[in-house]
Amino acid sequence: MAVGEDVLPALHPIAGLRLGTASAGVKKPGRRDLVVIELAVDATSAGLFTRNAFCAAPVQVARNHLAQAAPRYWVINTGNANAGMGADGLIRAESVCAALAAQTGVATAQVLPFSTGVIGEPLPAERIVAALPAAVAALDADGWALAAEGILTTDTRPKGASRRVRLPGGATLTVTGIAKGAGMIRPDMATMLAFVATDARVGAPLLKKMLVAAAEKSFNRITIDGDTSTNDALMLAATGAVAAELDGATLAALGDAVTEVCTDLAQAVVRDGEGATKFLTIAVAGGSSSAECLAVGYAVAESPLVKTALFACDPNWGRILAAIGRARVDALDVERISVWLDEVLIAERGARAASYTEAAGQDVMARAEITIRIELGRGTCAETLWTTDLSYDYVRINAEYRT
């Protein structure tokens, strides 16, 4: 179950990057569950990782390797998170990196591992290592679509996005990315897994700034269930295949393209949220700070009562007011607050709007895509985030996750 069209857009290849997908039988025999991404020798990389204190072994290894050397390979498995496994998990993650490094002739520190799946089970590293030759043999610049399928877990469809930026001299820069994620989503940095690349030449420090800015407006503005994963990782690579020098304007345009790709991917994660039947935009304006706008937005977006009312198409607007009121915003004056469902004003001056009718609210709640707009009336700051409803299927998917 997902919201919106199930169409993977055209994913433009990135010169200097190849992707290979194979089946390692990590959890289910025969399914694509292993992806290798090869980066050009001169490529730069930047990464953001989960803030969860129980971060998975691959997150720890990837952080350490990224600090030691410029990555040449990213290796991703699904079906097993390799999280909550202590020293043994680190050994298994390192063994996968060492095997791929030996096969491709690079240093072990130039391989970054990423895993997603069930927490608390030993990573079948021997199966992954055995499948690495097939993934390497499949390396292809046009391998984005297969890779998007190869990183999925409870997702119902692959997620990808591309943008192109025309430079004044006639050259074109490309940005392409894929992501996976459907549940355990409130990133606090990225999403469960996302891999984005460009053929521009960008130094690592500037690439990191570009990635942080993109994440703040995309992956850090989504929530499915308020849970931050142990395995979240967002990677951005610049292969340098297009050697054009970038001035301030072209760097800004490239940064915008990276943000747009990340936003498309983040919204695709929400549209494919576990059991989702609705795609919700929560737009909060009139705040005195970004932080209080986000506090109000997340209070509404993560309220089980609001989310279940949305699933039921029930315009129970009192639940929205209650969520706003418990957002812990200092000296919040409810007399200044207005709330809309799409174009319908439902509350103002601390009460139901005089113009509101149940029929109008019902009409909006029956839609698959809805915007809840909140005006706080206390400043000029605004923030937007995206979420889903909460359905029976969300409970079923997570109750049956390990069976």
Alpha-carbon distance of 135 to 132, in angstroms, equals: 5
Q: How far is CA 230 from CA 120, 265, 357, in A?
A: 11, 20, 44
Q: Of 191, 198, 223, 230, which is the active-site residue?
A: 191
Residue 354: exposure state from Cβ atoms within 10 A (0-12, 13-18, ≥19) = exposed
Shortest CA distance to 320 belongs to which of 331, 330, 334?
334
Give the pair of three-digit tokens for residue 43: 């490529």
Q: Are 58 and 114 in contact (CB under 8 A)?
A: yes
Contacts of 30 (CB under 8 A, 6+ apart): 23
Do residues 157 and 272 touch, judged by C-beta distance below 8 A? yes
**With helix as H, strand as E and coil as C, how does the chain read?**
CCCCCCCCCCCCCCCCEEEEEECCCCCCCCCCCEEEEEECCCCEEEEEECCCCCCCHHHHHHHHHHHHCCCCEEEEEEEECCCCCHHHHHHHHHHHHHHHHHHHCCCHHHEEEEEEEECCCCCCHHHHHHHHHHHHHCCECCCHHHHHHHCCCCCCCCEEEEEEEECCCCCEEEEEEEEECCCCECCCCCCCEEEEEECCCCCHHHHHHHHHHHHHCCHHHECCCCCECCCCEEEEEECCCCCCCCCHHHHHHHHHHHHHHHHHHHHHHHHCCCCCCCEEEEEEEEECCHHHHHHHHHHHHCCHHHHHHHHCCCCCHHHHHHHHHCCCCCCCCHHHCEEEECCEEEEECCEECCCCCHHHHHHHHCCCEEEEEEECCCCCEEEEEEEECCCHHHHHHHHCCCC
Asked about 308 being catalytic, the answer comes back as no
Active-site residues: which are they? 191
